[in-house]
Chain A
């Protein structure tokens, strides 16, 4: 039946994006919109003792300078999701972290707002903050479970597993604070019309934005419309709802004008979460043959003073291998920093350590690291005891090894030199859970011209949702892709979940496909009941729909068309489909990397990356491949350069910009070779596809670190792997 799904269809939004026609949140043309700019706390802990806004208010063009004294009272949205904070700024004089808003300036132009923001004088009664995780490890505690992830988990008998182990590694790794840094910083453009609020938002979850705004502003959700047709990246930073969105909407109501607020790059370093610093200890034991007998993984993660949700679940340790005896503990340390959040494959933070420790174990055992992983493969999710829907991790390793030429590797460290330096080859598994959110719904409108408009309140964070949903719709309806227009990013459309957690495919594809299939069946029913149709009286169960034509299976010469049926109907056919069952899956892969390390200067260059992945059925090879390449690039940054520097005395970020926070540039990115197993997951209701977005942003980190070890013989257990650590 499938015709278009699986094809490498070009992005349907490509032309709009490259020509600038795509209207991002900040591009929305709203007459009379004023501009907001935040003033941020420069201290991390204390109280505002004095705030003088007179000079700012007197500055040209200023409409309002709202502080904790003058900002309208807002309700704090409850719970840890979707609003990740436990407080709303500008409601009292308490400072919980540096970069917390202490005033919101609204002015006629952006430049006026920025200038006035510099004129707000704030004095603080500040206390000395604590901001370095490693200085406070003795304060670690086990918080309540976060996001349905167990803070403590045990299976089997860890003590017995230790006894059985013939070889054990017990290692400590650290990862650093990192920020999402999407190209487009977060944007809120709030427009009130009486009691109705429209918000143009760069959001990964418009439904969450709507419910949170309604709660904070005390208005019925039906009065709030959120639009987010395009995102310039999100990487998790735009998944939760953050204070600036609430403050902007409240300010717009206060000044009686639309207000647009674009976070400055610097402000994004304290406004939209981060990947929190971690300290991780992992003990792994195995028999001589490489079979793991136990693991014990304790992760300690920075949390804030006001929140304690954890975002670096050690899921890979629980799910990826058949570890019979296992204990995982997630600990927290409160620091005077903002809360962390999910970032760019949150499971990468802990799977990095698992995959590096396995490499260490393979060296201790003298077992090839690919072989070690194959020997510990599992077809059963040992947390639930249920088999995985499908699992081709071993195939990924075998195919990847073949593509990469792994059999030519000399396992001896420092053995593969060439004229440019020390060459290292490393390998690791990629893995991420995907999905599990409530399923999304969709609406189909069939027009008299034979085209279909398909709408769902999902988002496209750049992964290709517009394109893939167009394919899914075309197949569901039996029409060519150019007869489909897919729209998203509007809370007036049927609801769909967050575009995060690799959930868009597993949670929204079923609803979109079902709506289209229902629309197809509706039109088939209309045709067979219609005396004017060539198909009148036929059994609807025997009708095939293809390329917009309806015909009895096996007799394509005698057909009706969508266009004709809808025309005879006299008005568009509209079908709303309820939310469908969603799905949670575990997409895995194998990643191989080659690095070259300068023997004298310690610089690491990535020469090539090969990834083979198992996402179930591949819905679009082009967008899936792009996602895998992007994941590899981000992981190069994760491993080699990205590091948010926080001053321990001030609790404040020292490098809040893309000049000081180094993401990879083209010169850092080698050839990335990507292949897919492309076999269906029979348990997936999403056309046998699993969520895949985050999987390729795991694995590469450890493959690179393991390659650096292989090149140099140095095991660096602290990220990032900068030259100073390799001298």
Chain B
């Protein structure tokens, strides 16, 4: 790891100013991902500004929305009574993430910004357009069992690792930030980016822009939600595939539905096609199967990850079956 400067900011504005002033400056909150990236040589920073003690830890409900401070820990949010009661998909996604130790350290803002687990990205020396733009993508023809089948490009097929982001995508959350030009709000749909030809640009944040809060609309009564995660071991592992479902039923008919998926794409993957296959229809084996077909219609498997096309459909079926049975 290269030597770097460390500073602690007293106020968000100060943190933003400090990072904005240094081209390779960055923020650190829990440090559960950043420090590994720096040790592995996947990221280099000459300044790290500690934002973990900023007063951005509150979790408040008002006007039908839950506002979560970006420095709230994963554990705080997962176990918050409103989250557990009203947003089970979010609580479940968080509790199936990482380990208790990491959940006690890692922040909500940092969770959305964690970087891919792609081994090629995390091991300097391999070609990786995300780490070193223009160097190529070794995963395309390499060990890509964990990689994306949806939303990738010929420049990058690394998947976004966050479970929380998948839940937030299904919940239509909003990300609040503070940048050098002041505060702004970014819908979760526009927050993470597909890789295209610039896989090193993973989100809408500008240099020096700090996530300050995540705001989630609380679902109306009758809305049910659930998160399903499939992984290679029982705990402390990233998703092979995951599915977040938020559904309002009217009898057997699906009135409202939001479906987002993890482990399959370079960003939390919302499937409007799958939703359209269910909205206004009865939840049956047939309609669920059609939703699955719609979900993977544009899938592009590469080598070792072809199984995800089938597995994600099964995950969708499983999560909807369980939601449908739930009363």
Does A337 reach chain B (CB closer than 8 Å)? no
**CB contact list, A649-678 vs B, under 8 A:** 649-650, 652, 654-657, 659-660, 662, 664-668
Task: Report the minimal beta-carbon distance from A61 to chain B, rounded to whole angstroms.
Answer: 10
Does B297 reach chain A (CB closer than 8 Å)? no
| Residue pair B1, A115 in contact (C-beta under 8 Å) | yes
With a cutoff of 8 Å between Cβ atoms, the chain B residues found around residue A648 in the complex are: 142
| Residue pair A662, B233 in contact (C-beta under 8 Å) | yes
Task: Report the minimal beta-carbon distance from B40 to chain A, rounded to whole angstroms.
Answer: 8
| Residue pair B234, A723 in contact (C-beta under 8 Å) | no
Does B230 reach chain A (CB closer than 8 Å)? yes
Task: Report the minimal beta-carbon distance from A38 to chain B, rounded to whole angstroms.
Answer: 14
**CB contact list, B311-327 vs A, under 8 A:** 311, 314-315, 317-318
Residue of B nearest to A40 (CB): B125
Render B176-220 as a binary contact track against A, CB cut-off 8 A, 1 for contact.
Answer: 000000000000000000000000000000000000000000000
| Residue pair B317, A660 in contact (C-beta under 8 Å) | no
| Residue pair B237, A723 in contact (C-beta under 8 Å) | no
Does A114 reach chain B (CB closer than 8 Å)? yes
Does A389 reach chain B (CB closer than 8 Å)? no
A-B contact count (CB 8 A): 96
| Residue pair A724, B234 in contact (C-beta under 8 Å) | no
| Residue pair B314, A662 in contact (C-beta under 8 Å) | no
| Residue pair B314, A667 in contact (C-beta under 8 Å) | no
Given known A-B contacts A645-B119, A665-B236, A600 and B2 have beta carbons under 8 A apart: no
* A659 CB contact (under 8 Å) in B2, B117, B314: B117
| Residue pair A42, B1 in contact (C-beta under 8 Å) | no
With a cutoff of 8 Å between Cβ atoms, the chain B residues found around residue A182 in the complex are: none
Does B104 reach chain A (CB closer than 8 Å)? no
Does A605 reach chain B (CB closer than 8 Å)? yes
Does A571 reach chain B (CB closer than 8 Å)? no
Given known A-B contacts A601-B311, A645-B119, A654-B119, A667 and B142 have beta carbons under 8 A apart: no
Task: Report the minimal beta-carbon distance from A183 to chain B, rounded to whole angstroms.
Answer: 16
Does A640 reach chain B (CB closer than 8 Å)? yes
Does A603 reach chain B (CB closer than 8 Å)? yes
Residue of B nearest to A112 (CB): B3
Render B96-121 as a binary contact track against A, CB cut-off 8 A, 1 for contact.
Answer: 00010000000000000000010110
| Residue pair A118, B2 in contact (C-beta under 8 Å) | yes
Residue of B nearest to A606 (CB): B234
Does B240 reach chain A (CB closer than 8 Å)? yes
Whole-angstrom CA separation of A111 from B36 in the bound complex: 14
Size range of the chain A interface in the assembly: 35 or more
Does A641 reach chain B (CB closer than 8 Å)? yes
**CB contact list, A619-657 vs B, under 8 A:** 640-641, 645-650, 652, 654-657
With a cutoff of 8 Å between Cβ atoms, the chain A residues found around residue B5 in the complex are: none
| Residue pair B143, A656 in contact (C-beta under 8 Å) | no
Does A14 reach chain B (CB closer than 8 Å)? no
Does B281 reach chain A (CB closer than 8 Å)? no
* B314 CB contact (under 8 Å) in A42, A60, A600: A600
| Residue pair B117, A654 in contact (C-beta under 8 Å) | no
| Residue pair A727, B142 in contact (C-beta under 8 Å) | no
| Residue pair B235, A600 in contact (C-beta under 8 Å) | no
Whole-angstrom CA separation of A53 from B235 in the bound complex: 43
Does A376 reach chain B (CB closer than 8 Å)? no
Does B307 reach chain A (CB closer than 8 Å)? yes
Whole-angstrom CA separation of A602 from B318 in the bound complex: 12
Render B63-95 as a binary contact track against A, CB cut-off 8 A, 1 for contact.
Answer: 000000000000000000000000000000000
With a cutoff of 8 Å between Cβ atoms, the chain B residues found around residue A660 in the complex are: 117, 119
| Residue pair B230, A601 in contact (C-beta under 8 Å) | yes
* B123 CB contact (under 8 Å) in A60, A649, A656: A656
With a cutoff of 8 Å between Cβ atoms, the chain A residues found around residue B3 in the complex are: 60, 111, 115
Render B117-135 as a binary contact track against A, CB cut-off 8 A, 1 for contact.
Answer: 1011011111000000000
Partner-A contacts on B (CB < 8 A):
1-3, 36, 40-41, 99, 117, 119-120, 122-126, 138, 141-143, 145, 230-237, 240, 307-308, 310-311, 314-315, 317-318
Rank and list the top 5 A-B pairs by shortest CB-CB distance, nearest first. A42-B125, A654-B119, A667-B234, A724-B307, A667-B235
Q: List 20 A-B contacts (CB under 8 A).
A: A115-B2, A641-B232, A647-B126, A647-B138, A648-B142, A650-B142, A652-B126, A654-B123, A654-B126, A654-B143, A659-B36, A660-B119, A665-B99, A666-B235, A667-B235, A668-B234, A723-B307, A724-B307, A724-B308, A727-B307
10 more A-B contacts (CB under 8 A) besides A647-B142, A654-B123? A42-B125, A603-B231, A640-B232, A647-B138, A649-B138, A650-B126, A655-B119, A659-B36, A665-B234, A727-B310
Partner-B contacts on A (CB < 8 A):
42, 60, 111, 114-115, 118, 266, 600-603, 605, 640-641, 645-650, 652, 654-657, 659-660, 662, 664-668, 722-724, 727
